[in-house]
Amino acid sequence: MYFWKCWRDTRSFFIVFLIIAAIVMPVTAVVCLGTHLVADFGTSAFSTTFGLILMAVALGLGAIGAIHEFAENTAHFLFTKPRSRSYFVWAGWAVGFAELLAVATVNFLAGWVTLSRYSKNPFHSALFGSMTAHTLVDPLIFCLWAYCLTYSLTVLLRNGLKGLGASMGILFGFPLFAVAIRWRWHIDVPFPPNSIRSLPLVISSIIWILVAMLFVLVAQLVVERTEI
């Protein structure tokens, strides 16, 4: 029942972004080729739109995934139920994560079909020759990280705008901080989805995923010990 409530609270936002994810690549291809902005519509356009769409959805779903409980003062009621507080935290996270995956799948399929129609390269070459797993996995890991961070901060701050603002401050401010550290002390500070030190990319990706899940776990632990 609570999964349905989470879906009802976020479905309007989800449906809008699902539509955008489905039409952004075909529209971009028509505009670019119709105005001769690019001679060969290829995977660079796909990777750009794929990352931007997922980033916007990750931030949006993270900000609204838990805010309804506090904005509508329903947290007091929910936490009197026989379910644990951790259930409500992870249930809201799971619904948002499923919606994020759905948007990613629709955008990928739309890009797949568009590339096969407009790219000068053969179908298999456009997808499996020019585009690599690195092109797809990196945006997914970063957006999962952004979603978990935004969702956790929203839960902790009990405010969607504050959670979104804090998350965007970290996501866009930390790379600048890392550049400053590298310039001043010549120390590389890792940031997702980049490799951590000399670790293989697969190991680094797993670590970033675990860190993202750790954000939600911290939010759960805080909620379990906080008076609502």
pLDDT in tens, 32-84: 766 655 555 566 667 778 888 899 999 999 988 766 665 555 555 555 555 67
Cα 164 from Cα 47, distance rounded (Å) = 24
pLDDT of residue 46: 74
Written in H, E and C, the secondary structure of 146-185 is HHHHHHHHHHHHCCHHHHHHHHHHHHHHHHHHHHHHHHHH
- Out of 135-139, 152-156, 219-223, which region has the weakest mean confidence (pLDDT)? 135-139
- Average pLDDT of every residue of the chain: 80
Q: What are phi and psi of 130, to 5 degrees?
A: -75, -40
Please state, in angstroms and rounded to a whole number, the distance separating the CA atoms of residues 122 and 115: 9
Tokens standing for residue 147: 């979603």
Per-residue pLDDT band at 101 (split at 50, 70, 90): very high
Supply 132's token pair. 């690599």
Environment class of 173 (CB within 10 Å of its CB; exposed 0-12, middle 13-18, buried 19+): exposed
How far apart are the C-alpha atoms of 49 and 55, rounded to whole Å? 10
Q: What is the pLDDT of residues 182-210, one digit of tens each?
A: 888 877 888 887 888 778 888 888 999 99
Question: What's residue 126's pLDDT?
Answer: 42
Size of the chain in residues: 228
Angle, helices 43-64/133-157, rounded to nearest 10 degrees: 20
pLDDT at 209: 93
The one-letter code for the residue type at 123 is F
Instruction: Give the three-state DSSP class for 205.
Output: helix
